[in-house]
Structure 1
Amino acid sequence: MPGAQNPTSSALLLTRLLHQAATRPTHPAFIEGDRVTSFGALAALIAAQGEALKSSIQPGDRVSMVMDNCTELAVAIYATWWAGGVAVALNPALKPADIAQLTEACQARFCWTALPEAPAPAPADATPHTTQPEALASLVFTSGTTGQPKGVMLSHGALAANTLAVQQTLPMSPDDVTLCVLPFHYAFGSSVLHTHLSLGATLVLENSFMYPQRIVQRMAQVAATHFYGVPSSFYLLLERGQLSAQPLPALRHVAQAGGPMDPARIERFQQALPEVGFWVMYGQTEACSRLTTLSPVLRASKPGSVGPALPGIELQVRNAQGDTLPPGEVGDIWARGPNLMLGYWASPEDTASTLVDGWLHTGDIGHLDADGCLFLHGRSREILKVGAHRVSPHEIERCIQAVPGVGECAVVPLPDALLGEVVRACVVPAVGHPPLPQLTRDIQRHCREHLALYKAPKQIDFFDALPRTASGKVQKHLIPASNTSST
């Protein structure tokens, strides 16, 4: 196998993939429909494309790629690394003008929308470009939940460190078969890709969630052992996946990240699949995806938490003056570890305000308990200022999502002449919901019973769906100013 060598625990991702190909060449790496690509075949494709690419780029050159999840996208990423380049995977749902703008912004040498025709196989003695851990590996444009995306620079060492930390925490093995609906061009999907390829596990690729019941049927068909999703993935499986109609005896674990998920919904999922372990994760693109993990066992005693830090990662909660706060006190969340980004592409000001003395200012608000478990209260830019009060949108969202008939909820500020801001609840009704006037009264009553008066929504708007990024995160800044509403 070209380029294969025995990896250490700190080996970079390409080295670990090539090792899997050398030791388990016939084991499936990807399944797409009826097409199966083994680890040996995958490594041969990477080596051939990587050797051909060496004549077109210099080490450090960016190569953008615009593809739906497929074997070829993984080949493009790893072949770029083989040649010493920087992989820039872009969202294929973007408009052509946006793709051109991002490709130009990162000064990519060229943009792949498909792999070039198969070049000659790489010579048996071909080796990848020698890469240092601190070298730039990937440029990931954030999903833009609050506005213009930023280019996050991730090194080879940071990607490898976070991949290993996830593997040490989640119940993963080379025999796993994971159904993957998460796009590789975002941090969560990228993490799933790298953890599986470096471990020798199998990914079953599905690019559409339009018919959730088909996803459930596919999990049964391929005997999927794992599933990863954002909150909306699990909401759709609960509402439309017909989980009770399709036995999933092979499914052992699911994991959720990409935003907070209502604990009541997690319990509903557990009731539907009681034998399946439900893991909760929290992270950021700037941290190569993952910072904390909450196990199913710990979740029972820490409802609402996202868990303790992954191995090798430190967390602190600080006040506005930068002082570290004791357990239980709410403040800014900071993180430190080998998984942090190098900075933002061509944005030294943003880098300087986000990376401070080796620590990442996450922009999230939360608190740590005495056991080191993290609880999120929202984004610092999302915290509502209701008169003299500071209000967490997540607390209100969790309260409203517990109301029967509510499918999803996003809380945003509503300008108010007296208080500055008041609470606006944007609700997607669940299937079979009561009439909207009744649902409005139910929400208002539940909020009065469980929230302080100033936290109760002043306005409730109903929507068919909430605007989302391709990775499934709600884009609150794109929620229309008004819709079907009650006040």
Structure 2
Amino acid sequence: MDLLAAAGDRPVFEHGARAVTGAQMLGLVRRIAAGLRAAAVGPGDGLAMMLGVTPEAFAATIAAYVVGARAVGVRPGLPDGQLRHVLHQDITAVVTDAATGPEHARRTLTVAELLSTPGVDGPLRLSGRPEDVARLVYTSGSTGTPKACAQTYAAMDAAWTARPAAWPPAIRELASRLRRYLVFGSLGSQVMMEYGVLTLAAGGTMVVADRPAFPDAITRHRATASVITVPRLYKLVAAQRAAPADLSSLRALMVSGSPMEASRLREALDVLGPVVFQGYGQTETGTISMATPQDVPPSVGFPPDVVDVEIRDADGRPVPPGVDGELYVRTPAQAVGYWADPAETAEVFVDGWVRTRDLGHFDEDGRLYLAGRTRDVIIVNANLYYAGPIERALATSPDVAEAYVVGAPDEDTGEAVHAFVVPAADRIPDLGSLRTLVGERLGDACVPATITVLDEVPTAPNGKPDKRLLTTAIPRAGNSAP
């Protein structure tokens, strides 16, 4: 709210030909907050935010916090069963910019209806209580059923995103590049919204990309920054090699969702210039670290001073630099647990730490490197093998642009490794050579039983590679090609 007030007549949100200033956005927040209060929505009430990417959607999200409600971002494209589940998690009402709400909603409040309530003059009354849950953010579900991470108002208040004086060096460098930040998909996305708030704090403008195809959206909107997933970054690099577009406005691409192989990151920096920032974080923790274009690939940078990271072995003991282990993290704004899921909360939130279930290590200088997921394993002949190292080995081949590995039951070995690769531009992978490459680096047990060549990897609604869908595409025998 302070950022919007300070912006005054400066545009903070651009949607097509429409530019909304800080003062105008503050007015929208006031009116929608008044509408929510008139609808008897207040502290402790759950609001499912089913909204597009518009100025009003942003204002409605902020207004939900003003009245002290529990805002639940609903990602577009959820299967009907998941949507029904979300809307029955203690939801008081659905807030939507559509004419009607979903059939599963107990009560629907439209943005138009909320805006019709007269605003209030004077200082806004903020009703959030520190111990109340301010928002539920659903995990991607990449390792199972999506879970709702509960973040309190106290945790949101402790976050450094909106406070420039608290920015760590990597965030300070990124913030200087956020003059025109593309927003698309859903403001219910934690990543999209957090970078949006950072943009406001940096004096920039959130710019809506109704058609977020790259590189067209960047050139059309003269964007200086955008969030991008690893598969989309690879496609952008290939497109720039084939037919370069004018990306002279671009200053920052914030890669999220999955780690990058070092050679592919170097290629992206070579083709696009020093614009790639690789962020690492989780829904449970928020940002853990960020690598700037100047950092050493494939490190994800140095965690800031306010973030505690320990690398621990299977027995929970810290390991020395250079040794992989599970990352345990504490951040000022981390979640307090999973909504209505005490068993999973007890497993992940341990003595004030968050078990990330990611594998990684520090180098001697304190840089953080990721090595895969603790659950992303294949059990071959009763031995555990992580998918991450196999994927990275395959990706070192000049014929491979992307590599993904899954496990599946096998009559002889219990489970077997199955790989999916996307070819590099104008290359045809030799599957036998890829098997040899993996065997030489990691041993025979890691050699894929099948290697399937794909034109592109299938993605989940959040843009991450969908490994569960890949598992259903494992060929019954032999190799597979397009």
Does the pair score TM above 0.5?
yes
Secondary structure of the structure 1 residue equivalent to 2:295: helix
Change (3 A) 1:106 1:369: farther
Aligned-partner residue type, residue 189 of structure 2: Y
Deviation, 1:352, is 1.2
From 406, 409, 412, the equivalent of 1:412 is: 406
Report matched runs for 1:116-155 at 5 Å. 116-117=112-113, 118-155=115-152
CA distance in 2, matches of 1:478, 1:252: 34
Q: TM-score when scaled to structure 2? A: 0.87
Secondary structure of the structure 2 residue equivalent to 1:75: helix
Change (3 A) 1:167 1:204: farther
Report matched runs for 1:94-133 at 5 Å. 94-114=78-98, 115-117=111-113, 118-133=115-130
Q: Which residue of 1 aligns with 2:69?
A: 85
Aligned-partner residue type, residue 213 of structure 1: P
Secondary structure of the structure 2 residue equivalent to 1:54: helix
Q: Which residue of 2 aligns with 1:205?
A: 208
Deviation, 1:73, is 1.9
CA distance in 1, matches of 2:430, 2:17: 45
User: Do 2:43 and 2:132's aligned partners in 1 also have CA atoms closer than 8 Å?
Assistant: no
CA distance in 1, matches of 2:451, 2:291: 32
Query: In the alignment, does 2:219 pair up with 1:217?
Result: yes
**C-alpha distance after superposition, 1:99-153 (max 9, x if no partner):** 2331112333334244124325523215132434443211111121123111111
Report matched runs for 1:149-228 at 5 Å. 149-160=146-157, 161-163=159-161, 164=163, 169-170=170-171, 171=173, 172-173=175-176, 176-181=179-184, 183-209=186-212, 211-218=213-220, 221-222=221-222, 224-228=223-227
| Structure 1 stretch displaced more, 80-89 or 126-135 | 126-135
CA distance in 2, matches of 1:367, 1:228: 25
**Structure 1 segments unaligned to the other structure (5+ residues):** 1-17
**C-alpha distance after superposition, 1:343-384 (max 9, x if no partner):** 110111111111111011111122222222222221111122
CA distance in 2, matches of 1:421, 1:464: 26
User: Do 1:63 and 1:111's aligned partners in 2 also have CA atoms closer than 8 Å?
Assistant: yes
Deviation, 1:313, is 0.7
User: Do 1:177 and 1:226's aligned partners in 2 also have CA atoms closer than 8 Å?
Assistant: yes
Change (3 A) 1:201 1:403: same
From 285, 290, 293, the equivalent of 1:293 is: 290
User: Do 2:269 and 2:293's aligned partners in 1 also have CA atoms closer than 8 Å?
Assistant: no
Q: Which residue of 1 aligns with 2:452?
A: 461
Change (3 A) 1:182 1:198: farther
RMSD, matched Cα: 2.5
Secondary structure of the structure 2 residue equivalent to 1:367: strand
| Structure 1 stretch displaced more, 230-239 or 175-184 | 175-184
Secondary structure of the structure 2 residue equivalent to 1:68: coil
Q: Which residue of 2 aligns with 1:8?
A: none
Q: Which residue of 1 aligns with 2:31?
A: 48
Q: Which residue of 2 aligns with 1:7?
A: none
Q: Which has the higher contact order (CA 8 A, sep 6+)?
A: 1
Aligned-partner residue type, residue 100 of structure 1: R
User: Do 1:386 and 1:419's aligned partners in 2 also have CA atoms closer than 8 Å?
Assistant: yes
Aligned length: 458
User: Do 2:97 and 2:112's aligned partners in 1 also have CA atoms closer than 8 Å?
Assistant: no
From 454, 462, 467, the equivalent of 1:471 is: 462
Change (3 A) 1:483 1:466: farther
Which aligned segments of 4 or more residues in structure 1 are displaced greater than 6 angstroms? none
Q: Which residue of 1 aligns with 2:360?
A: 366
Q: TM-score when scaled to structure 1? A: 0.86
Identity %: 28
Deviation, 1:324, is 1.6
User: Do 1:215 and 1:241's aligned partners in 2 also have CA atoms closer than 8 Å?
Assistant: no
Deviation, 1:216, is 3.6
Change (3 A) 1:196 1:182: farther
Query: In the alignment, does 2:250 pair up with 1:251?
Result: yes
Aligned-partner residue type, residue 391 of structure 1: Y
Deviation, 1:62, is 0.9
Q: Which residue of 2 aligns with 1:38?
A: 21
| Structure 1 stretch displaced more, 379-388 or 171-180 | 171-180
Deviation, 1:241, is 5.1
